[in-house]
Amino acid sequence: MEAGSSGFSAMAPPVFDGENYQTWAVRMRAFLEGCDFWEAMEQDYEVAPLPNNPTINQIKYYKERITRKAKAKSCLYAVVSPAIFNRIIACESAKDIWDFLKAEYQGDEKIRSMKGLNLITEFERQQMKESETIKEYSDKLISIANQARVLGTDLSDNRLVQKILVSLPERFEATIASLENTKDLSQIKLEELLSALQAQEQRRLMRLEGSTEGALLAKEQQNVRGKGKKWKGKKVNGSGGSEAAAGENSAGNSKNNWRRYSSCQHCGKQNHPHFRCWKRPDVRCRKCHKLGHIERFCKENRDQQQGEAQTI
């Protein structure tokens, strides 16, 4: 299979920067196998020279073998960082590059064993936090287990199940108790356990969201009731503009609304606004047109009425 004829080659290969060699090696091998370069990498075969007067098929086969080895080497050059490329530039074949990276970053059996032990220690120290979800916590444990497996350390799914069961927070106790009563936990599958825990976590989240919405609704209704009890009339103070507005709104119903007025600044009474008080300095009599009194208390008006009474 030619790499150029496959859509797989259009995928970006995994880049190696010197960290997590085991994970990169697994992904890179899968990529090379998909591109049909792994044979050239693994066997590092020799390409025999063409015979005299070669046939078309012989020429084609020769070019394919040469090209596959060149592409495998070029692929490894492309997936390493510049610092690592400077260290493999002297390697003559793709297999030489692969073996160099393996010896440099994977190490011998002793180093691999130490790395595996470190991963086991990290695995055992893991505890689920209150802020974590089941998916986040399980993904972390599975990632550590997979790294240990690449190094040759066996971390089975049954070990993962046991670790999850003993490291969950208290909020999952009811689910664990239910599983103990209905299933054999020593035989339960990892996927089945995670599904049950995620379902319980989702129900709990829905209950919390419902209680939060109910509390907010109750608070909003309480605020609405509180606002409805407040007096919605305009407060009248000593300023002319506010009192004038109050007087205009209550002109047709002064008997019912007299308590809304503050004390008049001219006479001290509360049954009228100050601009209607007859004792205000700018009041003008409509009879004599003089300031300081109204028509009912006009002296000229009283004299005229007395004269008319005597005439009668």
| Residue 271 CB contacts under 8 Å (≥ 6 apart), including other chains | 254, 258, 261
Residues, the chain, total?
312
Residue 214: pLDDT band (50, 70, 90) is low
Residue 260: pLDDT band (50, 70, 90) is low
pLDDT at 159: 92
pTM of the model: 0.49
- Burial string for 124-135 (b: 16+ CB within 10 Å, else e) reads eeeebeeeeebe
- Stronger pLDDT, 185 or 208, i.e. the higher one: 185
Residue 243: pLDDT band (50, 70, 90) is very low
3-state DSSP assignment of residue 299: helix
Residue 302: pLDDT band (50, 70, 90) is low
Query: Which structure tokens are listed for 291?
Result: 């300031």
Dihedral of CA atoms 243, 249, 251, 255 in degrees, nearest 10, equals -90
Judge contact between 146 and 126, C-beta under 8 A. no
pLDDT digits (tens, 9 = 90+) for 49-86: 888 888 999 899 889 989 989 999 999 999 999 999 99
Residue 285: pLDDT band (50, 70, 90) is confident
3-state DSSP assignment of residue 91: coil
Strands (E), 144-213: none
Give residue 32's Cα distance to chain centre: 38
Whether the predicted pLDDT of 103 surpasses 70: yes
**Portion of the chain with pLDDT greater than 90, in percent:** 23
Mean local confidence (pLDDT), 267-280: 74
pLDDT digits (tens, 9 = 90+) for 137-182: 999 999 999 888 888 888 888 999 999 999 998 888 888 888 888 8
pLDDT at 101: 92
